[in-house]
Amino acid sequence: MVETRASWEIPAYQVESWRPRRHARCVVIPVINEGDRIRSLLSRMQGLQIADLADIVIVDGGSTDGSLDRGFLESRDVRALLVKTGPGRLGGQLRCAYAFALDEGYSQIVTIDGNDKDDPEAIPRVFAALEAGVDFVQASRFIEGGVEENTPAVRSLAIRFIHAPMLSFFSGFRWTDTTQGFRGYRAEMLLDPRVAIFRNVFSEYELLAYLSYRAPRMGYRCLEVPSARRYPPDGKVPTKVAGLRANLSLMRTLLSACLGVYDPRT
């Protein structure tokens, strides 16, 4: 199968960039109405001097809460803001961001959720693993050195005993933390036509499960690194996956990924 840039299926998006590319690496942050959470994350990243390591790119799914004021983003070292105007949810946002990053020539891409649950202090560890030759790095709260705080019990059990074991069995790589989006990729893997990430089938949460399944099966080197993932102690869970219908959809997505439903057709 031959894949060309023109064949990529990418939702329409707008780009507002106020800094030139400085690094060969970038950090992608998908957001939609994250309010103070994205502002906290960016401030923490600035304190860690992440912008000295990688360019920071935000991909917005259509926020209306005023949290992405340009002046604030500039003050927190953000290089560019992408605003998805086409269809799709998280999968659409990620395809926009990865297309932008690859077109800009970034060789290493780290994604971290904009809801401030993940500790950005692990970002340098993810990049270090990519620099050492790992193709796909997954942050994990469940391995030695990782931290899990206030994760809802049902969610923790589902990840530990359903989601991660299924993807481990079908992919051939032992995963422990497969639902979170804090992860890193080398550009070569994202550009591989056997992986083919730029397809409209990846509209919601399919891309996360698919890559955890597909990358090991294609022989790419995978690794988990420890990270901290903290939910608020007040029980208010900042997540876009809530309710029975959403969780059933996530399980259908998992099963489809494990059965090869999203594999590219040759």
- The verdict on residue 155 lying in a domain is yes
What was the pLDDT predicted at 249? 86
Q: Distance between CA 27 and CA 17 in Å, rounded?
A: 15
- The verdict on residue 173 lying in a domain is yes
CATH code of 239's domain? 3.90.550.10
- The set of residues, in sequence order, having a beta carbon less than 8 Å from that of 199 and lying 6+ positions away, is 9, 264
DSSP state of 186: E
C-alpha distance from residue 39 to each of 35, 105, 165, 189 (Å): 7, 27, 34, 31
- The verdict on residue 158 lying in a domain is yes
- The verdict on residue 264 lying in a domain is no
Q: Tell me if 18 sits within 8 A of 80, measured CB to CB.
A: yes
- The set of residues, in sequence order, having a beta carbon less than 8 Å from that of 52 and lying 6+ positions away, is none
Q: Tell me if 142 sits within 8 A of 160, measured CB to CB.
A: yes
- The verdict on residue 1 lying in a domain is no
Q: Distance between CA 179 and CA 117 in Å, rounded?
A: 13
What was the pLDDT predicted at 116? 97
Provide the residue type at 230 as one letter.
Answer: R
- The verdict on residue 253 lying in a domain is yes
Provide the residue type at 25 as one letter.
Answer: R
- Buried-exposed string 152-187: b where 16+ CB fall within 10 A, e elsewhere: eeebeebbeeebbebbbebbebebbbbbbbbbbbbb
C-alpha distance from residue 210 to each of 55, 170, 204 (Å): 26, 11, 12
Per the structure, the complete domain to which residue 93 belongs is given by 8-258
State the DSSP string of 86-136: SS-SHHHHHHHHHHHHHHTT-SEEEE--TTS-B-GGGHHHHHHHHHTT-SE
Q: Is the dihedral of CA 102, 106, 107, 111 positive or negative?
A: negative
- The verdict on residue 215 lying in a domain is yes
Domains contained in the chain, number:
1
SS3 content of the chain, % helix, strand, coil (to 5): 40, 20, 45
- The verdict on residue 73 lying in a domain is yes
Strand partners, 139: 225
- Buried-exposed string 195-216: b where 16+ CB fall within 10 A, e elsewhere: bbbbbeebbbbbbbbbbbbbbb
Taking only the tens of pLDDT, the chain with its 266 residues reads 557 899 999 999 999 999 999 999 999 999 999 999 999 999 999 999 999 999 999 999 999 999 999 999 999 999 999 999 999 999 999 999 999 999 999 999 999 999 999 999 999 999 999 999 999 999 999 999 999 999 999 999 999 999 999 999 999 999 999 999 999 999 999 999 999 999 999 999 999 999 999 999 999 999 999 999 999 987 565 555 555 677 788 899 999 999 999 999 87
